[in-house]
Every structure is written in structure tokens, then in C-alpha cells.
Amino acid sequence: MASPLAKIGIISIGDMGVGIAKLLIANGFSVATNIKGRSNDTLERAKAAQVELLDSDEALTQSCPVILSVVPPRDAVATAQRIVDALTGPLRRDPSSPLYFADLNAVAPSSVKRIAALFSNNAQLGFTVRFVDGSILGGPPHPKPGGSSASPEWYLPSIPTSGPNPIAEIPGYGPKLSATLNMKHISTDVGAASGLKMCFASFSKGFTSLAIQAFTTAHRLGVLPTLKSELAAVLPTHLATAERGVVGMAPKAYRWVGEMEEIARTLSEEGGFDPDSFIGAAKVYRTVADDTVLGEEKIGKRKRGTTVEDVALAMAEGLQTKRKKND
């Protein structure tokens, strides 16, 4: 068996992270992650994907020349700080080669600039860290159905990156890594890739938050079947997008709370708009995650919310219970 092109660190091995790990391994890279403090589900997911399991961030930074951060937006800054702490601890990385840290999280440009600043003091770190601002547009990588098991075709999300350090410029394996991940370097400015993600997600997840509210309200009015029928006749593409988004969002709603808040920050700071619309969207997803049975859903283990009708029912039940508690 050929030696791997490079060992890529991924934090963490959730649904997106494991998809990226499988893609990299299928294309000749090895992948490692820090499993300290992670759940049994994460541990089993990483093992099944043939990801190397390490017990500390220090081990990750010492063995991986590239680390990809793929975490909920609320954890992005803390994750970067963990890596800085690992780099400045007693176990130092070999200073002869730089470490690339790619933040692929759904955060505002101002947030990603704050993260980049954590790595800016190379003198303190003792060697060079090259920061990459990145984002992920689309779902996790996965083999397309019907392909060859030996050499499958893959569905790939788009991964725009920005900043002064393109992954493709890493000597040796960089071009292969960039191509495998479907990376497109769109700007030399840190913040451009994250800003693009925020604008993109305002369409997709913002629309889903509106659909949740409309379907739930229609259910409570007793007109949900009629609403769907009218949408099918007049706006069939909107209906299909709404149904797909509403049914798929439940296991991810807790992640999307922070993402909506980051979008609100972006549209306010960069666009000059009032943030209220996406602060409202964050509240919708917080209600899903915290106040309904939908918040207990796991990807691949779905029980509730597998139809628009059941999402609307679960939302109505959760909102009614919440109102009774607050009365």
C-alpha cells in the first residue's frame, strides 16, 4: 500500500467532518482527529471512517501539517484557541515546516478575522502558522450512487477559501489536497470566504426558517394541505426546496442558531442592515433545538420530523408547551 500523501487533522468528526475524512482517505491522504472528551457516537464514527484517533491537540499539531476546523459556529473561536494553546505548550511542533490552519466554519468576517489574529504572533508560537479562511457550501462529501465501489464518483460541496495562503501552494501535496476538497481560492483577503458563506446561507437556511414558521402556522390554522397544494400549483420549486430544508434541518438546528447569529452580524457589519431578521431566524432554530422533540434527532437515526406534517405538529406541540410554562 502506498504511503499517504500527508496526514490531515480534522476537528471535529461530525457529519461534515466524517464526510471530508472519508473523501481525503479515498484520495490517498490519511486523517487524524483528537477524540479526547468526544461522545461514543463520534468515536465510533471516526473508527468506521478509518480516522487515526489521537488523545490531545498537542498530538494533532505535531503530526499534521494541515488542520481543518469544522465545528459549530459557537465553537469556532474556542477551537482555534485550543490549537494556539497546544502550539505554545511544553510539547512544541517541529519549527522546520509551517502549520496550515483552515477555519471552514460558518462565521462572520469579523469573527474569522478574530480567529486569524490568534495565529498572527508567529514569534510567540515559535514557528509559522499560515491561516486559511474557508467555508463549505453544500452538504457533506459522499460517493454518488451507482458508481464503481473501487473508484466511486463523489458528490463534493464547494469550499471557497481566501487569505494570503492558498492550500494549493503547499509544496508537494497542496495542489492534490486543494483539488480533492474542491477548494476555490477567491481572494487574498481574510473574511471574503466566510462572508460568501454568510450570504449563501442567508438564502438556504434563512428560507428554511421562514418555511418552518409558515408550515407550523398553516398546521395550527388547519390549512397545511391547502397551502402545500397552492404552492405545488404556483411555486413548485419553492415547495420542493422548503420541504427538503424543513425535513432535513432538525438534527442540525442547534448548530444553525449560532450560524443565524453570525449571518445577522455579517449583514449588519458588512451590509449595513438591521440584524433583526436573522436574530429572529436564530430564535426559530433555538425553539426547534430546545423546545421540541425535534431537538433530540440525530442524523441517520431519525424518528420525528421526517415529513413536513410531523415537523409542523412537533413545532406546534413544543410552542404550546412553552407558552403554558411561561403563563
Torsion angle defined by CA atoms of residues 272, 277, 278 and 283, in that order, rounded to the nearest 10 degrees: 150
Whether omega for the bond prior to residue 149 falls within 30 degrees of 0, making it cis, is: no
> Which class does domain 7-189 fall in?
alpha beta
Per-residue pLDDT of the chain (327 residues; tens, 9 = 90+): 466 789 999 998 999 999 999 999 999 999 999 998 888 888 899 999 999 999 999 999 999 999 999 999 999 999 999 999 998 877 666 677 899 999 999 999 999 999 999 998 766 666 789 999 999 999 999 999 876 666 789 999 999 999 999 999 999 999 999 999 999 999 999 999 999 999 999 999 999 999 999 999 999 999 999 999 999 999 999 999 999 999 999 999 999 999 999 999 999 999 999 999 999 999 999 999 999 999 999 988 999 999 999 999 999 999 999 998 887
Please state, in angstroms and rounded to a whole number, the distance separating the CA atoms of residues 235 and 66.
45
Q: Which positions ≥6 away from 223 have C-beta within 8 Å?
A: none
- Phi (first) and psi of residue 153, to 5 degrees: -85, 145
CA 132 to chain centroid: 15
Q: Cα separations (Å) of 133 from 32, 70, 224, 303, 313?
A: 21, 12, 42, 36, 40
The secondary element (H helix, E strand) that includes residue 143 is strand 142-143
Third-level CATH fold of 195-326: N-(1-d-carboxylethyl)-l-norvaline Dehydrogenase; domain 2 (1.10.1040)
Query: Which ranges in the chain are annotated with CATH 3.40.50.720?
Result: 7-189
To the nearest 10 degrees (0 to 180), the angle between helices 192-221 and 253-269 is 120
Query: Which ranges in the chain are annotated with CATH 1.10.1040.10?
Result: 195-326
